[in-house]
Amino acid sequence: MSIQSNEARCTSCHIGYGWKDKNFDFKDASKVDCLVCHEQTGTYKKFPAGAGNPVKEPTLFPGDGITYLPPEWNKVAQSVGRPTRDNCGVCHFYGGGGDMVKHGDLDSSMHKPNKALDVHMAVDGRNFDCTRCHTTNSHQVAGRIYSTPAATARTTLAQDDLTPRITCESCHTATPHKPGVKANDHTDKVSCQSCHIPEFARALPTKMRWDWSTAGKMKDGKPYKEKGPLGTPVYDTQKGNFVWEKNVRPAYFWYNGTIDAVSLKDPIDPTKPVALNWPVGSPQDPNARIAPFKIHTGKQPYDTVHKTMLVPHLFGPPDSDAYWRKYDWQLALASGMQKAGLPYSGQFDFVETSYVYPTTHMVAPKEKSVSCNECHSRENGRMAGIKGVYLPGRDGNRVIEVLGWAAVLGSLAGVLLHALGRAVSRRRKEG
């Protein structure tokens, strides 16, 4: 799903304070809302579909049944301070339209994590704020940007006080383990996160699958919602079916820090599941490491003639063609593609999709690190799909093995026959 035509909701988080129409200038810094990050009262809330504006008078949002109160401007304005986890979490814990939806490693459990959940941000530990790692250089939040390649230098903060990208190595160096610990030999190929985040979504479940194709079912002529065993919605007429999981073992890929994505103009192959984005990197790339990911799968509409992904118009006024008004995919897709200024043939179907999220938070206590045999094993190991490296315990040489066993069993058979011969000949002589 995509931003176009649904901006009034997305811009609650994505830069776009006061979005009104297509001509909004997303680059105009005066339209960045400072207060989300910098107010400390915890009362500054935006109306979910208010184009990044808080309400002017108490307003009920039917989506969550909460009444949004207008901010007490003097209190909010006076509380301006350095951003805390709560400030950043306003957007980052609720990405994708709710808590625990997008990233499996950033959700509301990270407001007050304990040490078992995150060794850095633990309230009973160092209590890092996000900005402790995501240091800024004139407000350019250090992090990762999908479109620019990996950090090219493995520098420490001491060497380079303001790294444009934060990495674990910025604080820990590339050999953080005691001398002789084998993990130090791994850091040139295996990212820290691969070993130190054994599972994500360890406190709250995260959404793993979103099937849009089943949306639109009614109960007694009305849209409805259903909750599953984890207490999370498994069906919503507006959105289709969801699958949630807790304590999820990540998927691993070579990754140099760049993630490529399919655009609405790129042709897709609907005969296979479509990867909407994918980590870039290969074993030959010296900047690439094996890194953990959450894979979110789904079923989404695509154009069966043009073979492109489609974007529906989801949210709009009552008389619009928006899906959440009329529950008609055909109208919503036509309207969405028209607003995006992209062609639509009028023929659509749903296709399997996947989407990756890097996993980098929820670093577990060291005793919980992934153990050697979870990677170095032949069956169901974490490194099962990773090519370009030789892992003892996972890889071997089947030819040598077959020949080797043949030699061993041959020797065994030989000596047994020989022993039998000796026993028989002796008995004959004695008997």
Partner 1 sequence: MSANATDCKMVNIYLYTRYERFWHWLQSALIMILLVTGFETNGIYTLLGFKAAAEIHNFVGITWLIAFAFFVFWVFTTGEWRQYIPTTKKMLLVVRYYVYGIFRGEPHPVPKRREAKHNPLQRLVYLSLAAFLLPIQMLSGLLYWSYNSWGEWGLGWLSLPVVAGVHLAGGFAILSFLIVHIYMITTGHSLGAHTRAMICGWEEVEERESVEEWEIKPRGRSTPGEA
Summarize as ranges the residues that interact with partner 1 (CB under 8 A). Answer: 182, 185, 188, 371-373, 376-378, 390, 392-397, 400-401, 403-405, 407-408, 410-412, 414-415, 418-419, 421-422, 425-426, 429
CB 315 within 8 A of CB 324: yes
141 touches ligand HEC by CB under 6 A:
yes
Interatomic CA distance for residues 49 and 179, integer angstroms: 54
* Chain residues 31-70 in contact with ligand HEC, contact rule CB under 6 A: 36-37
Interatomic CA distance for residues 214 and 235, integer angstroms: 9
C-alpha distance from residue 328 to each of 314, 322, 323, 332, 334 (Å): 10, 8, 6, 6, 10
CB 278 within 8 A of CB 269: no
Q: 264 is written with which tokens?
A: 């609405």
- The CB-side HSE value for 51 (13 A sphere, CA atoms) comes to 11
Per DSSP, the three-state class of 353 is strand
Judged by beta carbon, residue 111 or residue 422, the one nearer partner 1 is 422
Interatomic CA distance for residues 278 and 262, integer angstroms: 9
389 touches ligand HEC by CB under 6 A:
yes
Judged by beta carbon, residue 32 or residue 372, the one nearer partner 1 is 372
- Helix, strand, coil proportions of the chain in percent (round to 5)? 25, 20, 60
11 touches ligand HEC by CB under 6 A:
no
Distance in Å, CB of 195 to partner 1, minimum: 12
Distance in Å, CB of 400 to partner 1, minimum: 5
Interatomic CA distance for residues 383 and 189, integer angstroms: 12
Buried b (16+ CB within 10 A) or exposed e, 80-107: eeebbbbbbbbebbbbbbbbbbbbbbbb
Distance in Å, CB of 428 to partner 1, minimum: 9
Judged by beta carbon, residue 159 or residue 345, the one nearer ligand HEC is 159
* Chain residues 292-321 in contact with ligand HEC, contact rule CB under 6 A: none
Q: 295 is written with which tokens?
A: 């894979």
Of the residues 85, 102, 239, 313, which one makes contact with ligand HEC according to CB under 6 A = 85
Tell me the residue nearest to ligand HEC as measured from the CB. Answer: 143
Question: Residue 38's binding partner, choosing from partner 1, ligand HEC, none, with beta-carbon cut-off 5 to 8 A by kind?
Answer: none
Any alpha helices (H) in 258-308, and if so which ranges? none
Judged by beta carbon, residue 237 or residue 258, the one nearer ligand HEC is 258
Distance in Å, CB of 401 to partner 1, minimum: 7
Question: Residue 411's binding partner, choosing from ligand HEC, partner 1, none, with beta-carbon cut-off 5 to 8 A by kind?
Answer: partner 1
Judged by beta carbon, residue 128 or residue 327, the one nearer ligand HEC is 128
If you count them, how many residues does the chain have?
431
Alpha-carbon 164 to chain mean position:
22
Interatomic CA distance for residues 352 and 330, integer angstroms: 19
Buried b (16+ CB within 10 A) or exposed e, 332-368: bbbbbbebbebebeeebebbebbbbbbbbbbbbeeee
109 touches ligand HEC by CB under 6 A:
no
Judged by beta carbon, residue 111 or residue 426, the one nearer partner 1 is 426
Q: 315 is written with which tokens?
A: 């949210």
Question: Residue 110's binding partner, choosing from ligand HEC, partner 1, none, with beta-carbon cut-off 5 to 8 A by kind?
Answer: ligand HEC
Distance in Å, CB of 415 to partner 1, minimum: 4
Segment interacting with ligand HEC, rule: CB under 6 A, options 208-216, 230-238, 304-312, 358-366: 358-366
* Chain residues 158-217 in contact with ligand HEC, contact rule CB under 6 A: 165-172, 174, 176-178, 181-183, 185-187, 189-190, 192-196
Question: Residue 360's binding partner, choosing from ligand HEC, partner 1, none, with beta-carbon cut-off 5 to 8 A by kind?
Answer: ligand HEC
Distance in Å, CB of 378 to partner 1, minimum: 5
Distance in Å, CB of 173 to partner 1, minimum: 16
Of the residues 6, 87, 237, 258, which one makes contact with ligand HEC according to CB under 6 A = 87
Q: What is the DSSP letter of 249?
A: P
372 touches ligand HEC by CB under 6 A:
yes
Dihedral angle of Cα 165, 187, 294, 337, to the nearest 10 degrees = 40
Segment interacting with ligand HEC, rule: CB under 6 A, options 65-73, 224-232, 303-311, 374-382: 374-382
Q: 208 is written with which tokens?
A: 């793993």
Q: 197 is written with which tokens?
A: 């985040």
Judged by beta carbon, residue 20 or residue 426, the one nearer partner 1 is 426
Question: Residue 55's binding partner, choosing from partner 1, ligand HEC, none, with beta-carbon cut-off 5 to 8 A by kind?
Answer: none
Interatomic CA distance for residues 34 and 282, integer angstroms: 39
128 touches ligand HEC by CB under 6 A:
yes
